[in-house]
Structure 1
């Protein structure tokens, strides 16, 4: 396999990756930006390769953007190993994550799989926050992720969380707005200002992260349909806590109450502050890390107006 070195990244040929993936035969997942396939390098290293769709950047520009992303390193970010830019083909090559994505553990199809215990969930919550804080506040090239959800949090062999796809917003540049169009109105993670078409800031990631926290706590999707109506977990959780109920009431029932109540309370309060309607009232990801670590006290948050509307039967906010 001929591999040219560009900075710390490897430049693969399309043939290299086609062979490594056995002609892209094992798909790991797909999303708005393309599909991900499993591969094996000649030295037996496992990789995950994402075939990008919808990017028309020239090879020189693509290489420049990729090499920028390749300089960003953090224990809670998936490491970019290399890329392919050949003709109209654009692929990114990452480390393979043995435990796949967070959503495959939270929303399990296989009931024989053991649910994630609270300590593992809390470490995922904290590690993800640290990775996002690094992207927003610490790395040389500040990056807004724009697509935080359980599918984009990958877990290594030790269940250490790795934020994935963190470079795609930067990589796709102006074309990203086209991708966003297909995401608008999706029930789940988009901040109110994003849905209304306002230019987004890092606080949009904070909102998405908060929505994801509810799912990590509960082990279920925030929105579920039943009896002809939408069952929306954040509203139920907010009212439960507001009425003075035990915080363990909102915990995934499969954990049977086995959780550190202080950590659970901090996580829940962080989630509620993160999903405030006005981005000014949301914490930064750096502040979220401090809240979760117990260095910054979060007072009980107000119930966001959008959640109050849902409680009153105004379900249009979360409808597609």
Structure 2
């Protein structure tokens, strides 16, 4: 039996380097699950490696896709048959832009029945990243101020909601006003259009001259670098993304300041965290989703897996909402 898989053998534009292949299905081994994927969101973090932004972290040939939801179709030795037919997030295993994914039973997160596929497919990358940054790394609480660029992005919206849940103040940075009303509704205390306002002056005004405690850079390049001047002494910039494709010159920007820069890669946390912590973090985030306190992005369009190139083009257009790849 075979299953479709998306692969790329060299770095470049997705419409040039991605191909659709078939792979022979291998039965799950001891402790493993075989999951038939249902839905996968297209995130910037899925596409950026295809273009070669992180060549040292991508072993070619590669399959894109870091998250999604599916149904357990087969179990290996040592795994309960009660897992058959369960919806899960198949994590720490094979990448998700393929019809069938194998992972270890202990790494699969069971999805509650009251969370639909559209939301479940998005629970990993952005929510877990934002939750860990706010709680484990920055320990944000009442009175703290966090700046987030790309405020209108999916992860920007997550940070806005977490500001309401955890009690810190979030300043969302955008390049237009199309997301302003929604960001305020989700929890941002201020939204700054950087195309119309001088960022450093505006942040100084909003923080009464003290500067923010921390900032999250999702963009890189000059957009990331300018965050340094908005922080108070001993403030921290967390670098999580490279939407611009340009690495900031952090050493130059922080020279002579007391600002710290930390790079956050979810993969590193995944590799190092204990099984207990792994389950705890997902339980915390899933419970927020179930309670309706943490909302995933709306769905802007859906495509079959075989139409992946068109799906990426749509995801990178001005469409509102997430683009899902369906099987």
The reply to whether TM is greater than 0.5 is no
What TM-score, normalized to structure 1? Answer: 0.26
What TM-score, normalized to structure 2? Answer: 0.26
Greater helix proportion: 1
Greater strand proportion: 2
